[in-house]
Amino acid sequence: MTVCGVDVGSLRTPSAVAWLHDDELSFGAYVPSASRPLPEPPSGVAPACFALDAPQGLPVAGEQRRAADRLANTPTRVLPSRREDVQAMRAFGALVDAGVTIFWEALERGLASLDRHSAAPAIDETYPRFVILTLWPDLRIPSKRKEARRYVAEVWSRIQALGYGADAPPATHDEVDAALCALAAEAWQRGAAVEVGLAPIVDAAGRVLREGFIVAPA
């Protein structure tokens, strides 16, 4: 089984990609867009699941925060109710815009499904810090901004201790986060994940998902 983890940046900047096959990781990058919401798999590979570090949708009407963001303690504290207002957000606007675009376009184009039993690859939302706290609650997580090298070294060593390897080790914290996303994708596809939040709602008029789950390995 092959799965993919994506540490999303924006629709203008590269996103780190981690492909996971038989406990081996390989890393790459792509710039997501409405016409290319998901990374192109390696030749001959049919991924079973994509897991992205980006919000899949917006809150239901009357709410400023999704249940999943609150339960996973993501930094997106306030979200607009309309997709048209996302780009005007002061903080995380580019990330939220990328997330809602990727999920909506991947689902609308039939490139992915919210159901892991579908013929199309599954697509999930995850959050690397939630994955870390779920797998290693004892780890004092180094700052990615102040201690990037330490973050890479400590988290990658934990991933290796679970039995995962790579053709080349991750060079950046973005690649480490993509690897954590891939672990979440694998766990969800195997039915061995925890999830927090509420079932996603398709808002066809607004062309956006609402609420949704954030997943991590159990």
Digit-coded pLDDT (tens) for 2-56: 999 999 999 999 999 999 999 999 999 999 999 999 999 998 899 999 999 999 9
Contact between residue 57 and residue 209 where contact means Cβ atoms under 8 Å apart: yes
Q: What is the pLDDT of residues 80-101, one digit of tens each?
A: 999 999 989 989 999 999 999 9
Q: What is the pLDDT of residue 100?
A: 98
Model pTM above 0.85: yes
Cα dihedral 143, 196, 59, 69 in deg (nearest 10): -20
Q: What is the pLDDT of residue 175?
A: 98
Q: Which amino acid is at 200?
A: P
Q: What is the pLDDT of residue 198?
A: 98
Q: What is the pLDDT of residue 85?
A: 96
Q: What is the pLDDT of residues 200-211, one digit of tens each?
A: 999 999 999 999
Taking the C-alpha atoms of residue 68 and residue 187, their distance in angstroms, rounded to an integer, is: 18
The per-residue pLDDT of the chain, averaged, comes to 97
User: Rounded to 5 degrees, what are φ and ψ at 157?
Assistant: -65, -35
Q: What is the pLDDT of residue 59?
A: 98
Contact between residue 34 and residue 111 where contact means Cβ atoms under 8 Å apart: no
SS (H, E, C) the chain: CEEEEEECCCCCCCEEEEEEECCEEEEEEECCCCCCCCCCCCCCCCCCEEEECCCCEECCCCCCCCHHHHHHCCCCCCCCCCHHHHHHCCCCHHHHHHHHHHHHHHHHCCCCECCCCCCCCEEEEECHHHHHHHHCCCCCCCCCCCCHHHHHHHHHHHHHHCCCEECCCCCCHHHHHHHHHHHHHHHHHCCCEEEEEEEEEEECCCCEEEEEEEEEEC
Q: How confident is the model at residue 106 (pLDDT cuts 50, 70, 90)?
A: very high
Q: What is the pLDDT of residues 159-188, one digit of tens each?
A: 999 999 999 999 999 999 999 999 999 999
In the chain, % of residues over pLDDT 70: 100
In the chain, % of residues over pLDDT 90: 95
Q: What is the pLDDT of residue 27?
A: 98
